Amino acid sequence: MNAPPRTTIARMNGLGNEIVVVDLRGSPRVLSADEARRIAGLPGWHFDQLMALHDPVQAGTEALIRIYNNDGSFAGACGNGMRCVALFEQRRTGATDVAYETARGVLASHVGDGAPGSRISVEMGAPRFGWADIPLAEPFHDTRRIELQIGPIDAPVLHSPSVVNVGNPHAIFWVEDVDAHRLELNGPLLENHPIFPERANISLAQILSRTAIKLRTWERGAGLTRACGSAACAAAVCAARLGLTERRVSITLPGGVLEIEWRADGDIVMTGPAELEHEQAVDLDAFLARAAA
């Protein structure tokens, strides 16, 4: 009797953003939302996002990636997850420059020199600022700041966020101190606000200088996170669009620092580390059965 095929599954992180990579290339298998949730519930395999690698469709790419949040919902982008995938591939094949197909489009990655995983860059594509592209439930001519607030009308706790789509919908609230707000309470309310028909990632951003921002994020479908790469991209482009910073900034998140550049050609480049925690080859059906037990 032939042994069941083995699937490589890796637990990784990007600045503490918990990532699981499942390599399904060579298999027609597509994980369901329920299967993703079950993996997230296994000891040692909890994730903020799961990156499922499938056989490439577009020429010149290494894989088609489907991205799941830990509640089983789909994500259009995950910057920290893309850096983890780049490190996963570099460890597997030695390749340092690889492109992947995602719902966001084709994203190119580069694993730099130095300690393994210490410096990985991902081209995240161009931001979208149109209200229907974010999307919002109603038209806003200027998405640099929209009419949205939480708290008393005459003394709102948070108000007037910038909104943008960088693969996922993002709302950036500008505050004097990101640690002075209870994002664990306000994040879920704002994520599910009716203005966001597809929900949204909610961030608090504090301008430190023309080249530095401090950020905390409540991720759509995942909750509080130590780092969110797409939120860092969103904060950087929105700050530059408002004239608050230059187009190249350092973003300090609870898990560490990301470098974000909004290039002249419109694309965003994110640079930061990634780390492998553990990996194994599994019989995927048996692995999922254990997750269901």
Active site residues: 78, 228
**What are the structure tokens assigned to 289, written together?**
């059965």
Contact, 80 vs 88, CB < 8 A? no
Q: What angle do CA 227, 230, 233 make, to 5 degrees?
A: 105
**What are the structure tokens assigned to 172, written together?**
């950036």
Beta bridge partners of 218: 202, 224
**What are the structure tokens assigned to 206, written together?**
């504090």
CA torsion, ordered 258, 262, 266, 272, to nearest 10 deg: -20
Coil/strand/helix, residue 207: strand
**What are the structure tokens assigned to 291, written together?**
């997750």
**What are the structure tokens assigned to 28, written together?**
């027609």
CA torsion, ordered 92, 97, 101, 103, to nearest 10 deg: 110
Q: What's at 222, amino acid-wise?
A: A
The C-alpha atoms of residue 180 and residue 45 are separated, in whole angstroms, by: 32
CA 161 vs CA 145, 150, 245, 274, 284: distances in Å = 5, 11, 16, 30, 43
